[in-house]
Amino acid sequence: MLNMADGLARLGALAENPVVRTLAEAFAAAGFDLAVVGGPVRDALLGRATHDLDFTTNAHPDDILKIVKPISTAHWDIGRAFGTIGARVQGEQVEITTYRADSYDGVTRKPTVEFGDTIDGDLIRRDFTVNAMALQVPAVKLIDPTGGVEDLVSGVLRTPTDPNVSFGDDPLRMLRAARFSAQLGFSIEQATEQAIERLRETLRIVSPERIQGELVRLMQTDDPVRGIRVLVDTRLIDEFLPEVSALRLEIDEHHHHKDVYEHSLTVLTQAIELEHARHPGEAPDVPLRIAALLHDIGKPRTRKLEDGGVVSFHHHDVVGARMARKRLQALRFDTETTDAVATLIELHLRFFGYAEGAWSDSAVRRYVRDAGDRLERLHILTRADVTTRNKRKATRLANAYDDIESRIAALREQEELDSIRPELDGNQIQQILGIKPGREVGEAYRFLLDVRLDEGVIGADAAEQRLRDWWALRQAQAPRG
């Protein structure tokens, strides 16, 4: 629970931050108001670490630039049209924004900007009451016109004004509600949640890039599952990631399978736990987390009712990989993230063949080759995908994966497993066979790669002889004109 005495003490410490003091004194000397606003104030009251400093002021962009130039080592006005000036002050990046109110016209994807006259007016137009507080400096005065402190104490997310108006001003705020619910562990006030479900279709006017940014921020939280449940329960997720809610497959009395939606959320939770355990202190692995959430999205399309009350999902890994790629491209994810997620989904079932019967060294090499630099993510996803309550089965699968990781490590000691390639390169193939660059060189390369995967290192001389034998057989089998 929030202790106000401690919270106010932390606000005092925030006001004494060297960057805050420098800016406060500069703006006061120029005759303008300045306040730390939003997340830093909220986090200071909650005792959470503050990473970015955002300020609001009655100064307009031209005045802000004049004030920050003498006290900053760099400044930029890329957000000038929205009233925002960025600067680097004493080594820290800050953003300073004129009092404003963003709104959509209900048609275009870009917000319009109007500058305001008062800080209360600026705060009232923000997304949630817990983010609508400001610390005026250098006076060290908390400004809270919408009851943000009370909502912090209660652990509630509520819009400062009528949620219909607030979400109408910027529909992305509905997605932010899910993100802040996950980030802060707060519940969403009933009227606010009902408005999200009622207004969910208005999210369509928001650009895919902005939606993607909020989705990434949600996945970076310690408990994204909480936010995902909000998105699914309000059906907001159907506007940009409908494959997730589609996982809630009906189960009839004759055909049984595990709850795919709940299973996927469990896999995501377990993947995050493994991520923290195996790589403590590292930044959240967003591609891994998205793959964990989406790894079974191919199941609804491949679901088949079999005799004996069994439900099958043949090839849901391949189908799901294609679906994920298409969806992430629509959300404007970068190529690396899209490829990583699709690869992990396509490969996430491969291990279970190993658990049913030991693989040859060749199969292990191919597993490593196909995963490439995503192997560690695949290790985590595959382990997280075990959600059975059968302890004996869970132990067997865990031991099997321990075994495959040990075999990969042993092979890595013997061979350059992370960079498996033929023992002859393209230039050598051309020289040995007396051919020019083209399709035949690629076929020869793939033949030698298969030899390398199947048999390991055989040496350059043996590889050359195998290449010559393959080429001679190929020439003999070629049709004669």
- Asked if 311 contacts 303 with a C-beta cutoff of 8 angstroms, the reply is yes
pLDDT digits (tens, 9 = 90+) for 80-126: 878 899 999 999 999 999 998 655 566 655 556 678 889 999 999 89
Is the CATH number of domain 155-240 1.20.140.10? Answer: no
CATH of 262-419, one of 1.10.3210, 1.10.3470, 3.40.50, 1.20.950: 1.10.3210
Sign of the Cα torsion 142, 144, 147, 152 reads negative
Q: What pLDDT is recorded for position 253?
A: 45
d(CA 204, CA 240) in angstroms, rounded, equals: 8
Answer with the residue of higher pLDDT: 450 or 176: 176
What are 92's two structure tokens?
């820290």
Sign of the Cα torsion 276, 282, 286, 287 reads negative
**161-170 mean pLDDT:** 92
Burial code (b: 16+ CB inside 10 Å, e: under 16) for 378-402 equals bbbbbbbbbeeeeeeeeeebeebbe
pLDDT digits (tens, 9 = 90+) for 445-459: 888 888 887 777 788
Q: What pLDDT is recorded for position 182?
A: 98
pLDDT digits (tens, 9 = 90+) for 419-429: 567 888 888 98
pTM exceeds 0.75, yes or no? yes
- Asked if 90 contacts 18 with a C-beta cutoff of 8 angstroms, the reply is yes
pLDDT digits (tens, 9 = 90+) for 220-230: 999 999 999 99
Say yes or no: do domains 155-240 and 262-419 share a fold.
Answer: no
SS3 433: helix
- Asked if 157 contacts 181 with a C-beta cutoff of 8 angstroms, the reply is yes
Q: Where are the domains of the chain?
A: 1-149, 155-240, 262-419, 426-477
- Asked if 422 contacts 463 with a C-beta cutoff of 8 angstroms, the reply is yes
- Looking at residue 237, what DSSP letter applies? G
Please report which confidence band the pLDDT of residue 4 belongs to, taking 50, 70 and 90 as the band edges: confident
Homologous superfamily of domain range 1-149 = Beta Polymerase, domain 2 (3.30.460.10)
Closest CA relative to residue 182, chosen from 282, 259, 284:
284
Q: How far is CA 208 from CA 2, 100, 215, 309, 342, in A?
A: 36, 24, 10, 41, 19
Tokens 């004129």 belong to residue:
98
Q: Which amino acid is at 282?
A: E
What are 397's two structure tokens?
């699968």
